[in-house]
Chain A
Amino acid sequence: MNRQASGTTRRRFLKTSVAAMASVSIVRPHVLGGPRHVPPSETLGGALIGVGGRGPGTYNDLSRKHKLNVVKLAECDVKWVGKADNKKRYTDFRRVLERKDIDVVAIATPPHWHALISIAAMEAGKDVVSEKPMTRFIAEGRAVADAEKRYGRVYQVGTYGRFGKQGDAGARARRKLMKSGLLKDCKGVLIMHRGYKVKQWSGLVNTRPQQVPDWLDWDMYQGPCAMKPFHRHRFGGTHRGYWDYDGGGLGDMGQHFLDPVTWEYGLDHTSPSEITPYAPPAHPEAIGMWGWVELKYANGFTIVLESREWGKRYDRKKPRDVSVNDLSPGDRKKLAEMPDPEPLLGFGEAVKARKPAGGNSEAAHRTVTIMHLANIAIRMGRKINFDPDTEQIVGDEEANRLVNQPMRAPWHL
């Protein structure tokens, strides 16, 4: 169904709804499109940018998972050279975002484009679901979070582990404890040795340049990254093995694994301050091996990411849970009187309520920052210190240059 034919745009619908809610609350929720009630008038124009790999799944989740009534009006991909009609199929995402009939954008490009397209979409007034990992470096995440706030848009990263965690009583109790501020000297240690696909998603170190296929816009694919010669391994999934595009298996899978952790341990608004790596010297282009990274927060809580694919095992600390037993009896009483964690809003609910989604950009940024810090420490081969407020690496200029990396014109944050 063509949304324009309905005569009601999402923005007009929301404007009317907000005005109705503000005047008097006699209108029943389903009329306004509350949870599980999508009125037929609320048809959203949708677009998918990056159609390969996860693209169709990410877009289809708009209706399946998020229960939005969405009509796909445009798709965009850099591998459609000669096949785009600039009506429904595009190779340049800017032409998609110019369209005023598009309300929601699903982004499933390689990660080096996630932040720039997310930001541009919100600047154009769209709501965004973006595949993980949210960003390629730390400053990108701050810019996405700033854009969400500046434009009052809704952003959700494409990983949902935290939504599952909120159904777990133990996880809710840990979140409440960690967010309470009562745990001054946290002794918790969480060691995670999940499937980081370290070797699988590493890069080739001695490639010979190849001919760019005639169906691919390589300049657009490379985008904000310094121009490099085409090689098939830099494209189509194996891109994950190059610092230009992603952070290897750690950068790519880490957001899945750590999304529930940052919610459970109340780390949505802060970042680790001391990061200690164990890895061989990094290659400047191809992502390689690492053993483990220890990331300690200012309150003492420590996350250890362990690859178990290279080098000796982590043995600096033992796993240790956090619990109310870490509090004095008086503080336990105070904790009991505090409110329980608020439920997370799904993307669809957030779009309708014009409130932040559970996987909003600030939370997603803090999660992906863990992987970025781990990777910076791996790349430097030394301990780094990070200020979670200024989001700068302290006392290490070389490492800090990876926090905000130059972009190739015309692309910029």
Chain B
Amino acid sequence: MKKQINVAAIVDKLPGADRPGTESKFTGPAPDEAKKLVASVLSGGREAILELAEMIRDANGTGEKNYKPGYLLHAIALRVGDKGRDKERLVFTEALASLLGGANPPPGAQEYLLRELQCAGGPEVVKTIGGLLEKPGIWEHAVNALVAIETGAGEQLRKALVRARGRRRLAILQALGSLRDAPSTATLASATEDKDENIRLAAIRGLARIATPACVQPVVKTAAKAKSWEKIQANKAALLLAENLAASGSTDKARETCNLLINANEEEDDAYVREAAERIISGL
């Protein structure tokens, strides 16, 4: 059974900002003292972590009173991420996750908790975080946390993509590419035809990272018709795709990609792109 502890008293033991009452820098506690404070909160288990997390009122540590709980919570996130502390880490992350998604704590505090889960969270919290991908104000931090956690994130992002629009759709598509989410190949291929240039670029970048033979046509087709900035980025995606195909043993597809890229870059100023493609071919 966890012992009853006074979390507010532990928070008060942290040294104040260097210039109390003003926006200030912070020298921090001695490492040994900090370890004791962290251990004190952890000894109180889930209830103590919840009590500490609920003291956070916004994402920025606004004001003298608010930065201390956030700072201590982050110190705990770092402590439970250390080797051999997975049980404590699970208690910590599941406690934080239990505070997400409702009207309270306020959105700024939930943003802060999400950033801590980006540090210490694992597969145990991806479903909860996935549920925040539509929540105004914090969905972008939820995307970042899922990309950092990786395991299980693809499924959550794919689900949220169905109803996502605008910048949220862009962020989710980019995240699926970052995760090399192979089940998203058809979705990304379709997105290369989108009317939004940023969506098209996120799609070809994702396909270049997934790098299966099915990714070749959508990428080189985009490279062939793109102009200006999109052309520069599409050329990059095609080169990256060729490199990744070559690395996975699909040398014929890598060569095909490079040849299509060479044909799509015939101007004198594009010589460096052709040379880059030729270097890949010569290494096959």
Contact = CB atoms under 8 A, between A and B. Distances in A.
A binds B: yes
A207 interface: yes
A410 B198 contact: yes
Most buried by A among B83, B178, B239, B272: B272
A60 to B, nearest CB: 26
Interface string A182-222: 00000000000000000100111111110000000000000
Contact of B148 (A207, A209, A281, A401): A401
A65 interface: no
A283 interface: yes
Given A151-B276, A205-B26, A207-B62, A280 B229 contact: no
Nearest to B32: A280
B269 A100 contact: yes
A228 B60 contact: yes
B192 to A, nearest CB: 15
Interface of B: 17, 23-31, 34, 38, 59-64, 66-67, 70-71, 74-75, 77-78, 81-83, 115-116, 118-120, 122, 140-141, 143-144, 147-148, 167, 170-171, 173-175, 177-178, 198, 201-202, 205, 228-229, 232-233, 235-236, 239, 243, 268-273, 275-276, 279
Given A207-B60, A284-B74, A406 B115 contact: no
A206 B143 contact: no
A98 B232 CA distance: 8
A381 interface: yes
Size class of the A contact interface (CB-based, 8 Å)? 35 or more
Contacts of B83: 395-396
Q: Mostly helix, strand, loop or mixed at chain B's interface?
A: helix
Interface in A300-357: 310-311
Given A401-B119, A409-B171, A204 B25 contact: yes
Interface of A: 9, 11-12, 15, 94-95, 97-98, 100, 120, 123-125, 150-153, 199, 202-209, 226-229, 233, 241, 278-286, 288-289, 310-311, 379-382, 395-399, 401, 405-406, 408-410, 412
A123 B232 contact: yes
Given A12-B268, A233-B23, A398-B120, A150 B276 contact: yes
A284 B70 contact: yes
B29 A281 contact: yes
A208 B140 contact: no
Given A281-B29, A380-B78, A410-B198, A125 B272 contact: yes
Contacts of B71: 205, 281, 283-284
B31 A278 contact: yes
A157 B108 CA distance: 38
Given A125-B270, A281-B38, A406-B148, 4 more contacts: A15-B271, A125-B273, A396-B81, A406-B178
Given A152-B275, A406-B148, A412-B174, A226 B140 contact: yes
B148 to A, nearest CB: 5
B170 A409 contact: yes
B235 A410 contact: no
A382 B276 contact: no
A230 to B, nearest CB: 11
A310 to B, nearest CB: 7
A9 B29 CA distance: 59
A285 B25 CA distance: 12
Contacts of A278: 31
A412 B175 CA distance: 10
B140 to A, nearest CB: 7
Contacts of A398: 77-78, 81-82, 119-120
A208 B28 contact: no
Contact of B26 (A125, A233, A288): A288
Contacts of B118: 401, 406
Contacts of A405: 148
B221 to A, nearest CB: 19
Contacts of A399: 81
Given A125-B269, A401-B119, A382 B82 contact: yes
B37 to A, nearest CB: 9
B24 A204 contact: yes
21 contacts: A9-B269, A11-B268, A94-B229, A123-B235, A150-B239, A150-B276, A199-B25, A202-B25, A204-B23, A206-B66, A207-B23, A207-B62, A228-B60, A284-B71, A285-B61, A288-B25, A396-B82, A396-B83, A401-B119, A406-B143, A412-B177
A202 B25 CA distance: 7
Given A123-B236, A199-B25, A398-B119, A410 B170 contact: yes
A409 B174 contact: yes
A206 B23 contact: yes
Given A204-B25, A288-B26, A380-B78, A409 B271 contact: no
A120 B201 CA distance: 13
B143 A280 contact: no
A283 B26 contact: yes
A228 B77 CA distance: 21
A94 B70 CA distance: 37
Nearest to B62: A208
A406 B228 contact: no
A382 B83 CA distance: 10
A209 B58 CA distance: 11
8 closest A-B pairs by CB: A398-B81, A280-B28, A281-B75, A409-B171, A406-B144, A406-B147, A205-B26, A409-B174
